[in-house]
Chain A
Amino acid sequence: MAELSAQSDEELLDRFQRAAFGYFLEQYNPENGLVADRSRAGAPASIAVVGFALSCYPVGVERGWMTRADAAARTLVTLRFFCNSLQSEQPDATGYKGFYYHFLDMKAGKRVWQSELSLIDTTLLLAGVLTAGVYFDEDTTTESEIRERADAIYRRVNWQWARGGGTTVRQGWKPECGFLHYGWDGYDEAIILYVLGLASPTHPLPERSYIEWTATYQWENIYEYEFLYAGPLFIHHFSQAWIDFAGIRDHFMREKKSDYFENSRRATYVQREYARRNPFGFEGYGKDCWGITANDGPGFQKLKIDGRERRFLGYAARGVPYGPDDGTIDPCAVLASLPFAPELSLSALRHFCARYPQMIRDSRLPSGFNPTLPRDGPSGWVSEAYFGLDQGIVVLMIENYRSGLIWKLMRQCPYIGSGLRRAGFTDGWLS
């Protein structure tokens, strides 16, 4: 990786972005457009990863990594599948009420793992569907069909049903037991869910659902940064991948004289500060080694390392500063912070290249590595599989930093504008 240090920021980012983009070409089923959740043999498709894939294709076209025709063809196969696949209460359907099951069989496209009908994952899929609907704006049969199908998929979603009689939406539903009761509390990645739900021309969420959802927000002063707290870093990225929040504010952010873009910046600084303080003495943590989020981990195990008891987790939502934290870093989350705090992300990226070159294979970043858990080399444990969510957020956030492409596209999507307005957002590009 020595040669990376000589590259300019732009060259470096191009290289990592393209490597991440490659995931969607490798893990794609041309029959139905589904994309695997992770790069492990036999992995099912994740609908959220498909949403990222649909958003990445326009990036590929604009960067010259694929032709527009190829991108449109892949997109159309995907949208046809989601339009035509079985929507029913049957336990092996693809979806129900316009939503989709979290995990689908890569070939048959049916529900697997008894997974839940997932509201947030359907939202991320829809974000991709709508991105495609805006990007493919030419007057060809393929692109016209993309637009029609994108609109049809979005309109079919029954957001009102998803409230399950309450004000805010439920997290999921299963044919075996109905709505799931996980209980959402605090700020999370769901702003885009409410924006899309509020904008629905067919089954919209009521405005009060957003107010109710934001009622559990916590504005905290931690390490002298004041911000809307959420522990895992990805929460500060996912809605922001599609929506440009710079300068637009809802009631809460007006009250705090901030916005969600600025908030993600501060959250990044809090992450770095936590890593510098490194209260649990994890190996590697420091100014350029942070990125604590929901990601793959070494698997549950309790070990004594250097006289200290360490408990490691598998795939888990790690968070800062309250934990859980087992010393696992997600370098993809660091790149996802690029638009908000480029000075921090670029410096960390260069540090990863110089200090942990073994964890970077073919310029692709793993979902996690843990220098505290010894393996060969300073990276320690390294996640073996690549995860679609990680690769997707890397492609989109590098692009937003480089050109703002996804943000510009989504500004043109009428549903985003109207959803934001119904949620009470004003100012900035909404004026």
Chain B
Amino acid sequence: MATDTTLKKFLDETGRIAVFTGRFLNEWFRPRYEISEFFRQCYIIGYKSLPLIGLTGFIIGLVMTMQLRPSMVNYGVESQIPAIVGISIIREIGPIITALIFAGKIGSSIGAELGSMKVTEQIDAMEVSGTNPFKYLVVSRVLATTFMLPVLVLLSDCIALYGSYLGVNIKGITSWSLFWNKVFTNLIYADIFPAFIKTFFFGFIVGIIGCYKGYHSSKGTEGVGRSANSSVVVSSVLIFITDLLVVQVTDLIGYG
């Protein structure tokens, strides 16, 4: 009985998210375009997240390198560290870590912001003021997350590789150009494209889930907290599922 209602709730929620996503897909390209709001959100969502995401990226690159070193030395392939770190950061670690941090920071803030706007009738007030709140709030944010996350991932990749460069040089000497040369020569386009394209999906997920949770926030401050919380949880899980799907699909079309 309990599982029955849980399942029902889950399916109900899935259906609502699907409808919400459908509404987004139906509305985002139609006028009126909230361009300046879109740029403002890009600034808040993208630029303002850079310090946090840069920091985590840097640490990941550094730590990965230091953790890999002992076993690489054992196998006598110490010189391959840049190649291995490069491939794993570009293909997987960079996108997924950045997306999760992004979900934590942006997903929750969107959920809470829209949730409290909903609860205090600010969304209604916008509608009364001749604004389509869905476009003004949801479309601008979802587009901003969709386009800013890939940029953040690229920068985070770059910073993570810099961290790895420092990590390599803690216990050995690898010149700047040799390091990058090793990273680049072991990469192929098939490493970049799936990794780059999936970041758009990750960004979209964070945006759409955060907005959905906020936009359908139940009344009261508790509802706002729940919106923020569940938008992080749901978008993180969806990011992992999407990642799995992307791997399957790229494997299938022989890109792996």
Does B bind A?
Answer: no
Residues of A within 8 A of B (CB): none
